[in-house]
Amino acid sequence: MTGSHPPARSRIPGSGLAKGLAVTLRTMTRRAHTAQYPDVQPELPPRSRGVIGLFEENCTVCMLCARECPDWCIYIDSHKETVPAAVPGGRERSRNVLDRFAIDFSLCMYCGICIEVCPFDALFWSPEFEYAETDIRELTHERDKLREWMWTVPAPPALDPAAEEPKELAAARKTAEKLATARAEAERTGTEQASGAPDAADPDTPPAEGGQA
């Protein structure tokens, strides 16, 4: 028993060439657009991934970014310092002090995991991408250079008008309002005391008891 094969599809001679020429003709009629880089900077999307900036004050050396990095391109060194007790009889505490924070961008694949896992918002995306080097060793950015990239991080987008106010801003606003109210109350009390006190230069003001006339 011989197997049956489907009949070969009949092909028009030269159909492939005709399709290729049709693509060529459509492309020829389109106007070419040339990006004039670097004379004209490209318009990057707001969430573009360029380089990573470090906000050192927020870093607690928790090492989450270095542990979760799939390329192991983040290098962190730190030491412990003893913090004196805040109150007499209190207990001394120890805290981590950051000595080195470096990112090797020759290994980084820009996955953004380090930024996502950071619990204290110490790492941010910057849209800057012009940091090519002739020496690969210069692509390891230390914390001073990572701090400079923070100046290029764009401001976060505005919240939706119907969104709730962030808890941090609400707490800061309430604290500022309380301080302003207390300051205004203190100024009002001081003004009332000053206006109610007898004027020593007024000759009609009677002397105090035990004083000389």
Average pLDDT of span 52-67: 94
Which is more confidently placed, 198 or 137?
137
- Chain centre to alpha carbon of residue 125: 7
Three-state secondary structure string covering 170-204 = HHHHHHHHHHHHHHHHHHHHHHHHHHHCCCCCCCC
Per-residue pLDDT tens over the stretch 132-150: 999 999 999 999 999 999 9
Say if residues 171 and 178 touch (Cβ distance below 8 Å).
no
Q: Is the pLDDT of residue 5 over 70?
A: no
**The model's pTM:** 0.60
Per-chain mean pLDDT for the chain: 84
Which is more confidently placed, 200 or 189?
189
Q: What's the confidence (pLDDT) of residue 196?
A: 64
Which is more confidently placed, 10 or 153?
153
Q: Is the pLDDT of residue 9 over 90?
A: no
Per-residue pLDDT tens over the stretch 91-127: 888 889 999 999 999 999 999 999 999 999 999 999 9
**How many of the other CB atoms lie within 10 Å of CB of 112?**
13
Three-state secondary structure string covering 26-57 = HHHCCCCCCCCCCCCCCCCCCCCCCEEEECHH
Average pLDDT of span 49-61: 93
Rounded to whole angstroms, how far apart are CA atoms 46 and 155?
Answer: 10
Q: What is the DSSP letter of 81?
A: E
